[in-house]
Structure 1
């Protein structure tokens, strides 16, 4: 099978499966009404997925599952399990606790989808890996945004259909990988289990630098995505302007897929590190400018600003993953990617909960400024020359 066909299958499957990520966010208002939740549920249910993903990536990394067994089979089993966990949103007896558990397990099994998908791509593409991963992360972005679009679709006006459709997509994506993608030609299988083996990857200075850049990026990314509807609604109230929150939240998140692809092509010319640095710098600038845009910009400028931010906030993600994969040694490439993902998503829980607390303390116009901290740390680290 040609590599382009393989890449297409990975991208489509990643898109289908990662639609589970924000399935709860896309129907959050309905969940609040259906189960008597509060506005704080946004942060709690988003963090549940992140915590589950962290737990899953830690388990996958320590056990080196994606390196010791066929990554396509690991992807398939994870996609089925994540889809089943997603259906927990439909249980009539749900409380915030049971919804939290459902999202927690969804996140846990997403750990066998997103980083394992990158591992599969790395097994097929030694050259042009940055461009390949840009398509893959672009698929993640579209999948993450999809529930917002589905919720705004009159064909799926009942929120329960959004849950059912995203589950069906996950089953389909997992099956496509299992049936259509054999182990790649550059795969190096780990032959034994050593629980601490993966932690040795941080001895590599270049990998550690890429990882810190990624961590700074992650401080901003998911908190930005999670609270986009909150800021859109606040702008709407402040200026008494009608804004279709679901539609624009979808566009602002989904346009990041274009940023990923553009970043991937640009990295072929500038290199992954330089391209990632520039995207992170632009995104950091947007954090700092967000209050000015909220108070001074027209609705057209406001939405254009967030669309641009949506492009750059994720454009560096595949490039950091490329740097990690290229600098990971031997057969632990998949586990290195998984561990870096694990730590990165741990950071997202902190930033999401911080914004969840600040939403009643800080004016909405200023809430995104605290997200600049992560990019600043990442930019400082990336600017250092290694000996």
Structure 2
């Protein structure tokens, strides 16, 4: 069982890494798409928000109908990755902004069947001590999300279609792995018929919602940082050294988001199993919140000073992500854990749409030096929520020990 669970984790992690390359596959080639599709400023905003919008729609539909609980989650993940690959590669056939953005929204819908469902599958393989396992899974997601930066770094001389083709092939590989290599967890789960009560049960579960509120604060910061940080680095590095190589900027973005983020996920998973989910999330959000405020002071300053703080931010901003999902998978009733996880991500990614689009608006007013400070609101509110979650856990332990009559 133990050997099988880690083998499943390895294959699911590889599949997640490949499939999540779809997320930023168009973002890293946005300048080329803007030119090819003749996008105006309004359409550009839609392009940046298209995948999160699609993810929210897909997650809402999935959670509303309990798809992750009613069907074999491995099959759901495989089909979703396959559809995502088809939708993504269709971009190379499009020459109009409307259809391009529509395809990106539908790609986001397909990804709602990849990430949340992978979390559920892993929770079946790791019924206990799943912090490290979840951390490795989110590390794969982080590396996968940053893969387009890696592709651009080495193949910037090729046309933008090459990035799309590469990410589509990776997503197709993910579907193949999940469908033919990954096995179902050796646990029996009750397949519920359709019920309108599933989401109501999630909302009524107090510890689940406290973990959700912490996750919502985390998400306010995370994807806005991932989306705009490469642009911040470009502006900062070229301000300090106008002749700096675009290759070095792409490498810095990949190291900050992908490498440092992946390391943060794994370290966070190990530490959370030792000190508890709540403590890890509080520490992580405290560090990332401080980085939100301090990073602006490095703008246009020493490149290495900026990179050091960037790496710290890249590690801390994602180190807690898996633990919110792990917390929900542990405190939610087993019959609706899939719906609970999908609901959590649905609302969380809805929040990212607002923060992603807020950053450029504020940046035009106060500049890069201060714009990321607005993201610190999320970690602050998340810390408050997780302190309450921790107190609820302590009360439950005391009650079980007979402290309360």
Contact 2:295 2:306 in 1 (8 A): no
Please say if residues 232 and 243 of structure 1, whose CA atoms lie closer than 8 Å, have aligned partners that are also in contact: no
Is the CA contact 1:282–1:312 (under 8 Å) kept in the aligned structure 2? Answer: yes
Give the aligned partner of residue 309 of structure 1: 313
Give TM-score scaled by structure 2 length. 0.91
| Partner SS state of residue 22, structure 1 | coil
Give the alignment of 1:18-97 within 5 angstroms: 18-38=20-40, 43-95=45-97, 97=98
Q: Where does the alignment leave 5 or more consecutive residues of structure 1 unmatched?
A: none
* The structure with more radius of gyration: 2
Task: Give how far 1:92 is off.
Answer: 4.1
Go from structure 1 to structure 2 and tell me whether the alpha carbon gap of 1:340 and 1:175 turns closer, same or farther (over 3 Å shift). Answer: same
Equivalent residue number for residue 399 of structure 2: none
Check whether the contact 1:61–1:335 (CA below 8 A) recurs between aligned residues: yes
Deviation, 1:38, is 4.7
Where in structure 2 are the equivalents of 1:244-323 lying within 5 Å?
244=246, 245-254=249-258, 255-294=260-299, 297-323=301-327
Contact 2:34–2:44 (Cα < 8 Å) also in 1: no
CA distance in 2, matches of 1:182, 1:64: 22
Matched, 1:333 2:334: no
> Given the alignment of the two structures, is residue 345 of structure 1 paired with residue 375 of structure 2, yes or no?
no
- Provide the C-alpha distance between the structure 2 equivalents of 1:157 and 1:359, rounded to a whole number of angstroms: 31
Alignment size in residue pairs: 385
* Structure 2 Cα separation of the partners of residues 158 and 294 of structure 1: 31
SS at match of 2:365: coil
C-alpha distance 41-359 of structure 1, shift in aligned 2 (>3 A): farther
**Are the equivalent residues in 1 in contact too, given 2:11–2:178 (CA < 8 A)?**
yes
| Cα distance, 1:104 vs structure 2 | 0.2
The answer to whether the 8 Å contact 2:220/2:352 transfers is yes
Partner of 1:181: 182
Residues 8 and 183 of structure 2 are in contact (CA less than 8 Å); yes or no, is this contact kept in structure 1? Answer: no
Q: Answer with 355-364 or 214-223: which moved more.
A: 355-364
Measured on the aligned residues, the alpha-carbon RMSD in Å equals 1.7
- 2 CA distance for matches of 1:66 and 1:302? 42
Q: State the partner residue of 1:193.
A: 194
The whole-number CA distance in structure 2 between the counterparts of 1:293 and 1:156 is 30
Q: Does the CA-based 8 Å contact 2:16-2:144 persist in structure 1?
A: yes
